[in-house]
Amino acid sequence: MFKNLITYRIGEGWTTDAKLLAEQLAKETFLPCAPTQPLAVGWAPPRGIEHAPLVEVVDGHWLVKLKREQRLLPSSVVQERVDELAEHIEETTGRKPGKKAKKDLKEQAQHELLPRAFTKTSATQVWIAPAQQLLFVDAGSTSRADEVITLLIQASPGLSLQLVQTAESPAACMAAWLLDGVTPEGFQIERECELKGSDDEKPVVRYARHPLDIDEVRAHLTSGKMPTRLALSWKDRVAFTLTEGFAIKKISFLDLAFEGKPEASGDEAFDADMALATGELGGLIPALIEGLGGEHDFAAGSAPAPAALPANVPEEALSESPPW
């Protein structure tokens, strides 16, 4: 159900329940692009069924979905039409359009071409865990997550969100795990990672489908390269990739997570999938935060502490500012 997760802490004072949140989102429901509209964004039923609830609730967890439709209008196509219009003006008036006229022609061309443009539709899911005061956006980039978060905060007065930051740097912790082979309880290093240097050239080394408990990896780490992403698994139930900015990517559920799960279809399958995903990830994410030293306490005003690395890691490897 979820492929990537960016984690937020819900601020104190947000008392909205699922029914009220659905009413708030209903004010900005998704409507397809009008013929001359380049982009349409709005809230849609997570179940994908017309007129279904905008907030689905399963085992105390909420799911909402932001839908996005964009008309695809290549700049080369627009420019070709602008050139045609400009040529026509020159032929009929004997004058070449100036800079301002060209800008107006571009707007005219876009207005003409948009109704014939193809559309691309995408959706971003938001998982809310009210009991834990956590919110997760299934987005592969912070820019897409920011769009969703901005619209959600606008829709629900009183909602405030802060990116979860761990007390210890994920990059430093991943380096320590790779160096000494000791991971937090329940976690196991898999066969993929990316290491990046801190010098001017920013060299990058990537391993895919490759053992990581080798001298070559340790040599890269002791020379100053730091992990920017590392493939991990949790209790043989979930596989994922952790990034230096505490984003969780490439989530997949392993066979053990499906043991005992009954066959289901239709609405029952949606509920079963959501219960499985929130149940497994609801255990994994707190354990991962704990493995990274716990959540950083902003109220204390202290900077995130570095992980304890083995003595052979050079100090310059930790000299860069943390990713946040």
**Rounded Cα distance, 64 and 126, in Å:** 5
What pLDDT digit, counting tens, does each position of 44-86 carry? Answer: 999 999 889 999 999 999 999 999 999 998 899 989 988 888 8
Distance CA 33, CA 315 (A): 54
* pLDDT single digits (tens) 99-123: 888 888 988 888 888 888 999 999 9
pLDDT at 201: 79
**Mean pLDDT computed over 92-96:** 87
Interatomic CA distance for residues 324 and 255, integer angstroms? 35
What pLDDT does 317 receive? Answer: 42
Amino acid at 115: P
Q: What does the angle CA 279 – CA 284 – CA 287 come to, to the nearest 5 degrees?
A: 130
pLDDT digit string, tens, across residues 253-290: 999 999 877 777 777 889 999 999 999 999 999 999 99
150 by DSSP, 3-state: which? helix
Cβ-contact 240, 248 below 8 angstroms: yes
What's 167-236 look like in SS3? CECHHHHHHHHHHHCCCCCCEEEEEEEEEECCCCCCCEEEEECCCCCCHHHHHHHHCCCEEEEEEEEECC
Q: 165 near 295, Cβ under 8 Å?
A: yes
Q: Which residues on adjacent β-strands are paired with residue 118?
A: 72
* Dihedrals phi, psi of 310, to nearest 5 degrees: -60, 155
Instruction: Tell me whether residue 271 is exposed, middle or buried, using C-beta atoms within 10 angstroms of its C-beta: 0 to 12, 13 to 18, 19 or more.
Output: middle
Domain ranges (residues) in the chain: 6-71+120-163, 75-115, 170-293+303-318
Is the pTM above the cut of 0.85? no
As a whole number of angstroms, the distance between CA 27 and CA 181 comes to: 51
Could you tell me the CA-to-CA distances from 136 to 126, 173, 321 in Å, in that order? 6, 22, 25
The secondary structure of residue 166, as a DSSP letter, is B
